[in-house]
Structure 1
Amino acid sequence: MQFSSANNKILFLICFSVLGCSPRKRKEAIIPVEQNIQLDKSILDISVVAKGLNVPWEITWGPDDKIWMTEQHGEISKIDPKTGEKKRILEIKEVWKDRTTGLLGMAIHPNTREYPYVFVDYTIKDNKKIFSKLVRYTIQQDTLINPKTLLVIPGNTGHNGSRLAISPNGKLLWATGDAANYKNAQNDESLNGKILRLNIDGTVPENNPVEGSYVWAKGFRNMQGLVFSKRGFLYTSEHGDALEDEVNLIVKGGNYGWPNIEGIHDTEEEKKYAEKYNTIEPLLSWTPTIAPAGMTHYGSNNIPEWENSLLLTTLKARSLRVLKLNNDGTKILSENIFLENEYGRLRSVCVSPNGDIYVSTSNKDWNPYSKPVEFDDRILKISKASKITSEKVSKGKLASENNSIDNIDQLYSIYCGSCHKDDGSGVQGSFPALKGSPIVLGNKGDLIKVFLKGKKTENKPEQMPAFKFLNDEEGAAILTYIRKNWGNNAEPIQASEIKKLR
């Protein structure tokens, strides 16, 4: 900018000095607070930083103080947390997206000055075969260059796992799913259903449990969260089948039991297997399942009530869980639930250096509970506040069992709603509608057998799990609910009828 005289220039500088302005400073957007959370002492603001996204599968804090994000269809972008501005930095054209496949996990090396690397995991399809591909990119200003393929393993339309993390000593950890073949998890010749540990050039570290093998731990179904704590402990979140979603503390060479053990070692068969193979129990498991997704460790004292907790997003339960750890990091002491059913399915979570928390929604994915709202998908910001400024204030709640047959609507929603939907409409091509279903309205014995034993559809990873773990009264309540709702008008099912067919 040119000035006509020295006096004009002085007046200009005084103006900006006094008013606190700067001709070079861009005006930041004012992001309104949608609601407050009242903790024991702290007050939190909840605001929407970005909206109109397309399944932001991974979000992580970048070295440039931006939120780095993968979107499932194949784009990597940055979100400015102050303005919500989105800037695409890479489109990966070979990404193949269907159901739960696509561009998934991402990790940025914590020392980008020496190692300017970003690692991503995505799905490809080659000659009708599906693969999960692990690739390293080099950061160059606002783009990523020099893709280097580190590893390619078999994939499927589901159960690909796909979270990535960098260890404190600079190794790359990759959580893989069993690729919808449960035998892979215990098969030492397969890299599916494992946690893999690599050098950042893709080679096998010398101190892995088995020489020449990438496998760090085994016995997993479908991990959706992977994070190191400040103390260097590695934690995972994992989808169970019809029961026993899990959070695990990972140890070198550990066996976590799937498919022979689900969750806690509480059946005679599981106890025998655990004793024989020295399997490790989860820190926490959930039945009914909650579909745990992305997870991070909160090591900041900015929100003191949450310090030293695992922050866990959930899809089916549509909530943020705060899992308080003991000082050693070896036990979960409590579980508190926030944002339940407020923003839909929650997929990923990250923390900024100053202790702000960012959460991404996942309402445009293949299996939403309902139609996405106008602003989906979104990134939410949770930050410390000095006072309550919103009319909407919540306190969260302690996790508790609420699956009694006295609350049959919720019992159905917990066990059946995530697949068949709360209105019984199902998902075309994946989960059949219960409304008007010939199986639901037909012979009661046939329906009970499917309920107790499950049902698998050929060439599909999604299958009807067995619900034999429910007692006869619970089973009868659910099946009667299904046969009496959404225009269905069939006879109720009695607990005695289920008992006969077990």
Structure 2
Amino acid sequence: MTAVMATAALLLTVSCSSDDGGSPGQGGSAASSTTGSGSSPSRRAAEETPPAQGSVKVLRTVAEGLNTPWGLAPLPDGDLLVSSRDEATITRVDGETGKKTELGEVPGVSPAGEGGLMGLALSPDYASDHMIYAYFTSASDNRIVRMLYDGQKPSGEQLGAPDTIFRGIPKGFIHNGGRIAFGPDKMLYAGTGESGDTGLSQDKESTGGKILRLTPEGEPAPGNPFPDSPVYSYGHRNVQGLAWDAEQRLFAAEFGQDTWDELNAIKPGDNYGWPEVEGKSDDAKYHNPLAQWGTDDASPSGIAYAEGSIWMAGLKGQRLWRIPLNGTAASADPQAFLEREYGRLRTVVSAGGDKLWVTTSNTDGRGSPKDGDDRILEVQVS
């Protein structure tokens, strides 16, 4: 009995300290599809429910030899910008040849643990303003900055000085969130973590353990659910995936602790339960996930929408999950692809139509890098 209790305590410590699954744990639970409380009826006008079974085909390796890639932002000409979490650099990758050109290093980044230079997003007006947004961990907090990109300057000198538009997001060695994305409304959304302080998630005065919605200038966006607040939803543990479907509905992936990782349909102002609940709950005041996974099977980071489904990267799970949608519910059981073929998967971004960009994350200190790691893959899905 003593040995069992000791093992359980060890597993609790591992789960609490490492969202990215640095150490093997017990579990391996199958994915579970659940309809979230508070989800609205499907709007069927322009939608078709995707088939229960999908497919994935890796078309090519776009680039390799990347160090701790985290954020990925497609440029209008088909090239890609990728951030290095630990080197604090942004690199341009030629979408055809894979040639890498370093734009420069982002000053003020303080990489440690799960923190560093993370999410990237292009301004909604990128064609005219050439602004790149980035989420990073500084010496004192997590913050969001924007920088002018001037591709006419020499390699390494193409980034303008960062303009901090939002600061004060709690930082920690773990649970720094980090994903940013502009929504269909041209507002900036940011997924944050509770930095290991679980009490922050339920505190609507804190920006930790939240999804934030901001103007491009970093102010609370008009129409947010709480007056003069950037908080869009709360009760999250560590959000690293944001994506919208064809009907402009927001979905988010977040890490669980010991039992359930989650994919959530986000409703403004709703409470997603952490730390009071993990995964599905019978308490109606918490918005249930639309799908959940055992933590060995997922540890989800980036997500993207394509072909009627959400596609979710798994770090510890080392696989790409497909979650077919019917409105804000899963229309069939989640389906896993690329299982342990490329190691840890960090980011998934739509490449248009039935194609995705997928990055691996084997050089982040928790993987087992192989020759060529880390890499960007072009994937065809259905």
Question: TM-score normalised to the size of structure 1?
Answer: 0.61
Structure 1 residues 234 and 285: CA distance shift in structure 2, 3 A: same
1:116 maps to what in 2?
130
Structure 1 residues 146 and 63: CA distance shift in structure 2, 3 A: farther
2:220 maps to what in 1?
204
Please state how far the C-alpha of 1:350 moved relative to its aligned partner: 1.4
Deviations 1:379-428 (A, max 9, x none): 112248xxxxxxxxxxx9xxxxxxxxxxxxxxxxxxxxxxxxxxxxxxxx
1:149 to 2:164 alignment: yes
Cα distance between partner residues in 2 of 1:201 and 1:240:
32
Report the secondary structure of 1:185's partner residue. Answer: helix
Q: 35, 42, 56: which one pairs with 2:69?
A: 56
AA aligned opposite 1:144: L
Contact conserved, 1:99 with 1:365, CA < 8 A, in 2?
no
Q: How many residues align?
A: 323
Please state how far the C-alpha of 1:146 moved relative to its aligned partner: 4.6
Please state how far the C-alpha of 1:149 moved relative to its aligned partner: 0.5
From the two aligned structures, give the one with the greater helix fraction. Answer: 1
1:31 maps to what in 2?
none
Report the secondary structure of 2:220's partner residue. Answer: coil
Q: 361, 372, 375: which one pairs with 2:372?
A: 375
Cα distance between partner residues in 2 of 1:43 and 1:107:
26
Report the secondary structure of 2:227's partner residue. Answer: coil
Percent of counterpart pairs with the same letter?
A: 33
Structure 1 residues 43 and 169: CA distance shift in structure 2, 3 A: closer
Tell me: higher relative CO, structure 1 or 2? Use CA pairs within 8 A at least 6 residues apart: 2
1:135 to 2:145 alignment: yes
Structure 1 residues 75 and 381: CA distance shift in structure 2, 3 A: same
Contact conserved, 2:67 with 2:374, CA < 8 A, in 1?
yes
Structure 1 residues 40 and 294: CA distance shift in structure 2, 3 A: closer
Cα distance between partner residues in 1 of 2:138 and 2:292:
32
Please state how far the C-alpha of 1:224 moved relative to its aligned partner: 1.6
2:12 maps to what in 1?
none
Please state how far the C-alpha of 1:309 moved relative to its aligned partner: 0.8
1:91 to 2:105 alignment: yes
1:216 maps to what in 2?
232
AA aligned opposite 2:97: T
- Give runs of aligned pairs for residues 204-353 of structure 1, distance below 5 A: 204-265=220-281, 271=282, 274-275=283-284, 278-289=285-296, 290-298=298-306, 307-326=307-326, 328-353=327-352
Please state how far the C-alpha of 1:203 moved relative to its aligned partner: 1.4
1:159 to 2:167 alignment: no
AA aligned opposite 1:145: G
AA aligned opposite 1:296: A
Deviations 1:115-144 (A, max 9, x none): 53221101111xxxx410110123333533
Cα distance between partner residues in 1 of 2:131 and 2:208:
24
Cα distance between partner residues in 1 of 2:365 and 2:55:
37
Deviations 1:342-365 (A, max 9, x none): 111011111223543221111111
Cα distance between partner residues in 1 of 2:237 and 2:295:
17
Structure 1 residues 111 and 171: CA distance shift in structure 2, 3 A: same
AA aligned opposite 1:212: D
2:25 maps to what in 1?
none
Structure 1 residues 310 and 66: CA distance shift in structure 2, 3 A: same
1:172 maps to what in 2?
188
2:79 maps to what in 1?
66
AA aligned opposite 2:163: K
Report the secondary structure of 2:159's partner residue. Answer: strand
Deviations 1:5-46 (A, max 9, x none): xxxxxxxxxxxxxxxxxxxxxxxxxxxxxxxxxx98978344
Cα distance between partner residues in 2 of 1:76 and 1:288:
30
Unaligned runs of 5+ in 2: 1-51, 153-157
Report the secondary structure of 2:201's partner residue. Answer: helix
Structure 1 residues 204 and 367: CA distance shift in structure 2, 3 A: same
Contact conserved, 1:59 with 1:348, CA < 8 A, in 2?
yes
Contact conserved, 1:61 with 1:68, CA < 8 A, in 2?
yes
Contact conserved, 2:235 with 2:275, CA < 8 A, in 1?
yes
AA aligned opposite 1:312: M
Structure 1 residues 123 and 288: CA distance shift in structure 2, 3 A: closer
Report the secondary structure of 2:165's partner residue. Answer: strand
AA aligned opposite 1:378: R
Structure 1 residues 40 and 88: CA distance shift in structure 2, 3 A: same
Structure 1 residues 315 and 332: CA distance shift in structure 2, 3 A: farther
Cα distance between partner residues in 2 of 1:188 and 1:354:
38
- Give runs of aligned pairs for residues 407-446 of structure 1, distance below 5 A: none
Unaligned runs of 5+ in 1: 1-38, 266-270, 299-306, 385-395, 397-502
Structure 1 residues 354 and 288: CA distance shift in structure 2, 3 A: closer
Cα distance between partner residues in 2 of 1:309 and 1:283:
13
RMSD of aligned C-alpha atoms? 2.1
Higher Rg: 1
2:9 maps to what in 1?
none
Please state how far the C-alpha of 1:249 moved relative to its aligned partner: 0.5
Cα distance between partner residues in 2 of 1:164 and 1:93:
19
Cα distance between partner residues in 1 of 2:246 and 2:130:
22
Contact conserved, 1:357 with 1:382, CA < 8 A, in 2?
yes
Deviations 1:165-189 (A, max 9, x none): 1111111111110010000000122
Contact conserved, 2:318 with 2:343, CA < 8 A, in 1?
yes
AA aligned opposite 1:334: D
